[in-house]
Each structure stands twice: as structure tokens, then as C-alpha cells.
Homo-oligomer: A and B are copies of this chain.
Amino acid sequence: MKSAALDVVGIGNAIVDVIAHSDEQFLAAEGFAKGAMTLIDAERAEALYQKIGPAIESSGGSAGNTMAGIASLGGKGGYIGKVRNDLLGDVFRHDITAIGVQFTTPSADHGAGTARCLIMVTSDGQRTMGTFLGACVDLGPEDIDVDLIAAAQVTYLEGYLFDPPRAQEAFRKAAAAAHNAGRKVALSLSDPFCVGRHRDAFRDLVAGNVDILFANEAEICSLYETDDFFRAAHAVRGHVEIAALTRSEHGSIILADNLTHQVAAAPVNRVVDTTGAGDLYAAGFLYGLTQGLPLPTCGAIGSLCAAEIISHVGARPEASLHELVATAGVV
């Protein structure tokens, strides 16, 4: 196995977030499940935008957020995802490359515009998302750069990528390319409803093609169709080398070999917007792992990164995560 030039390559839906404050009544009236991601079409996205309050625009996408986090930590990363050659596509490309992530997937020059996610943040800091996939539906196996995959210690796949029609094929091609090069494959389950839409495919993948799994309580419970988190945690053990299961303010548990590591959440003054919490936990964890750090340290870095992201509006880091981790003294 060649030594890796990159730490992590992320593959995901390339999305620009449109973030507005909202309230429970509005979510209910619009039929959104609070805290979850709902797919919407272009028309619904436009109608919803007209109804929401003032917003800020910020590059997003689950794996995109994770890669921005790894770059901010000092890691070397790449990204594969599809934008349109329009203004939001330029914004997405600028933001991820400006922080040093390799992003060479060509932009679509026709078809739907760059994907948008309307994120409605309630006063408790929770976020509820309506996603118009736009140009993301153009991502296919032809976009998987196998040399980029082979150059990275870990290929990281977001579960949301199972929604666009041709991405599962891209997903499996990437996983195979990673394993052929002797690399690891990581998967985030992304969202309990997304798991519900693709449960068989996810179980199949977790049983045979995933080395490192990220999930929160609702997602791992959805995967194994149980209400009992510990039953779900028991079910996943043995299927993957490492499972990092996040539990909001209760921190995370990491299952590996026959061991269970408990990791505390990092303190936060005030939870402003939980968008990106899971993405940034994964960033911290994978950064630690690719640096060869012990699993509890990987989890502690994940907790610190998640705490930074939920302390402000938006899912991309505002502070240098490298400095944050150095100051906290966990490494």
C-alpha cells in the first residue's frame, strides 16, 4: 500500500445553505418534521423561500462541512460532488477550495441549478431542513476520481448521497476503489428518514463495505428498526471496525473490537444552531484517526469541533479548529 497523500476524501451532495430563524408553528404548518431533512422540488423551494424570514447563505452539504472541518484542523482533504456553473456553484467551489480542499469534479453546464438547503433554525438551536437537490442529481460513477480515492487514507460517504438516482452507483464505485487501494471506507447515516428510504441498501453496505460508521441515536435506531439505542449499538458491533455513535449533549460512544469508549460532549456557552454538529464531529474524529491518535482522543476532537459549530449560525467553522484543539490540550 502506498503512503497516502491525502487524509480524507469526502463524497456528498454539494449544497449551499440558506439559513433563517423560524418557529415550531411554521414548521408544522409547512409539514416539516422538526430536526430532519425533507427533500423538496424547485417549485416548493422557491415558494418556501418566499415565506421564510431573512437568511444568510453559506456553503454546506454534510460531507462538504466535514471536509471544511478537516482542512481547518490541518488535515489534507479532497471532495467529490456536483454543482452547476452558476453563482451558488461558484460560491460552493470558492469556499471549499479557499480552505485548501481539492475539489476537481466538473460543474454541470446545463440542467438544474446548484442545490440549496433551506435551513429553519428554531429558538432551541435545532435545525429543520428542506433540500432542493438541483445539480446533485447529475453526480454519477463517471465523477468518481479513483486516483483521488486511492490517494486518501479514508473515503468518507454521506448517507444523503443515496437520494439522487445515480449516486448509489458512484458510492459503490468509490468504496470499491478505496478498498482496492487498501484504504478505509467511512459512512455517515445522515438522517433517520434518509435511512428509512434506503434501509436495505444501507444495511447491505454496513454489513459488507463500511469500515467506519457514524450515526446519531435516531439514525442507528432507524437502521435496525428499534427504539432502543443500546440494542441498536449491540446490533452494529461486528459489522464495522469502528462505530462512532453521537448522542448530542451526552457525548458519543465509540465501539471498536470488543471495547466501548465513552466520550463526553465539549461545553458550549449557548447552542445557537445545531446545523453541522454531526458533520463536524466526523471531521474531528477522522482527523484524529488519520493522524494515528487513540480512539478516545479522536472522539474528544470530534466533540470540540461539534461544540464550535453549534455555537454560531452556519455549518462551516468560524474559528481555526487547529488552534481550538491545540488550546484545549486534548492532543
Contacts and interface: CB of A to CB of B under 8 A. Distances in A.
B59 A58 contact: no
A115 to B, nearest CB: 14
A99 B53 contact: yes
B58 A95 contact: no
Given A87-B87, A95-B54, A313 B316 contact: no
Contacts of A91: 55, 57
Given A57-B58, A87-B87, A98 B318 contact: no
A49 interface: yes
Interface string A278-322: 000000000000000000000000000000000011101010000
Nearest to A91: B57
Contacts of A56: 56-58, 314, 316
A88 interface: yes
A49 to B, nearest CB: 7
A49 B91 CA distance: 10
With most chain B CB atoms within 10 A of its CB, the pick from A94, A99, A312 is A94
Interface in A63-119: 68, 86-88, 91, 94-96, 98-99
Tier of interface size on chain A: 20 to 34
Of A53, A59, A96, A98, the most chain B CB neighbours within 10 A belong to A98
Interface string A225-238: 00000000000000
A55 B95 contact: yes
A50 B98 CA distance: 8
Number of copies: 2
A96 B87 CA distance: 21
A321 B68 CA distance: 32
A55 B98 CA distance: 9
A96 B59 CA distance: 21
A203 interface: no
Nearest to A101: B54
A170 interface: no
Given A49-B94, A55-B95, 19 more contacts: A20-B98, A21-B318, A50-B94, A52-B98, A53-B99, A54-B59, A54-B68, A54-B95, A54-B99, A54-B316, A55-B94, A55-B98, A56-B56, A56-B57, A56-B316, A57-B58, A312-B313, A313-B313, A313-B318
28 contacts: A50-B94, A52-B98, A53-B98, A53-B99, A54-B59, A54-B68, A54-B94, A54-B95, A54-B96, A54-B98, A54-B99, A54-B316, A55-B94, A55-B95, A55-B98, A56-B56, A56-B57, A56-B58, A56-B314, A56-B316, A57-B57, A57-B58, A86-B87, A87-B87, A312-B312, A312-B313, A313-B313, A313-B318
